[in-house]
Amino acid sequence: MTKKLNSDPVCAVDYAFQRIGGKYKGRIIWYLHTYTVLRYGELKRSIVGITPKMLTQTLRELEEDDLVIRRVYSEVPPKVEYTLTESAKELIPFIDHLREWGDKRMGNYKIICQ
Amino acid sequence: MTKKLNSDPVCAVDYAFQRIGGKYKGRIIWYLHTYTVLRYGELKRSIVGITPKMLTQTLRELEEDDLVIRRVYSEVPPKVEYTLTESAKELIPFIDHLREWGDKRMGNYKIICQ
DNA sequence: CCGTATCCCCGAAGATACTG
DNA sequence: CAGTATCTTCGGGGATACGG
């Protein structure tokens, strides 16, 4: 049983940040947008530095919050695909805007992204 | 001496979320936008549940990241005003739509905000 | 390939008291 | 009024090993 210890949001801004904040959610959503659909292993390789535990945990939270869809194929070897929900897609223009904002200010950090 | 232990961002999305993530930054920026200028005590009363330590700490981080301006008046009693920088104002459309997105999905939680 | 299961650490955040 | 100064807690996240 998963514990959701997010305290009750005090306003919509708070609510939203509780759902897309955290260390990896922004990047996961962004990658799922740019590649449309990604398998678990592909996400694992895309999200630099993430451990399997955190990837699974974060994906489950996103799924529970209706931001990603998890599609399991009953095959051997296993295959699981993740995509964004319509609700999550509504956020894309703004995450994109945020990305450009960040890009302008990053300056020296010129590390490859996507 | 302040420790900035944010690990190096791996991309612009990561960079941006490191700067406006955290428990209170979104709300602080949003309130500073809606009221244009707020004093320390006004922020303290607006950001429900925040302790003085966290408010000061968060404001300092925002200042260091060129997101808020801290204006000190040499008066007795002391008066300190906080405003958003131009850089932070560029984020307002993002936070505003995030707020609307959150508002649509909040459902039951109908707690007063702003 | 796609995860779980454990154990563990550290830093964000809280509580409380005090000050120029 | 606008903060500091300490001490403490807690849970997000890390490391590692294993499993269907």
pLDDT in tens, A93-111: 999 999 999 999 987 555 5
What b/e sequence results for B44-60 when a residue is b if at least 16 CB atoms lie within 10 Å of its CB, and e otherwise?
A: eebbeebeeeebeebbe
Bridge partners, B68 (sequence order) = B84
pLDDT value at position A8?
Answer: 86
Could you tell me if B98 and A94 are in contact, meaning their C-beta atoms sit under 8 angstroms apart?
yes
Higher pLDDT, A112 or B34: B34
Instruction: Give residue numbers, 15 to 74 of A, with CB < 7 Å from strand C.
Output: 39-42, 52-53, 56, 60, 70, 72
Domain A12-106 has CATH 3.40.50.1390: no
Name which of A13, A49, A109 is nearest B102 (Cβ-Cβ).
Answer: A13
Query: pLDDT tens, A46-69?
Result: 999 999 999 999 999 999 999 999
A16-44: pLDDT as tens digits: 999 999 999 999 999 999 999 999 999 99
Task: Give the model's pLDDT for residue B97.
Answer: 93
Query: What's B68's DSSP letter?
Result: E
Q: What is the pLDDT tens value at each position of chain B, 114 positions in all?
A: 444 557 889 999 999 999 999 999 999 999 999 999 999 999 999 999 999 999 999 999 999 999 999 999 999 999 999 999 999 999 999 999 999 999 999 875 555 555
Nearest CA in chain A to B7: A23
CB contact under 8 A, B109 and A15: yes
- Residue A18 CB-half CA count within 13 A: 18
CB burial of residue B23 (10 Å; 0-12, 13-18, 19+): middle
**What Å distances lie between residue B88 and A54, A89, B41, B67, CA to CA?**
30, 24, 21, 5
| Domains of chain A by residue range | 12-106
Residues of chain A neighbouring B20 (CB-CB closer than 8 A): 98
Rounded to whole angstroms, what are the CA distances from A55 to A45, A62, A68, A81?
Answer: 11, 11, 13, 13
Distance from C-alpha of B15 to C-alpha of A70, rounded to nearest angstrom: 27
* C-alpha to C-alpha distance for B47 and B49, rounded to whole angstroms: 6
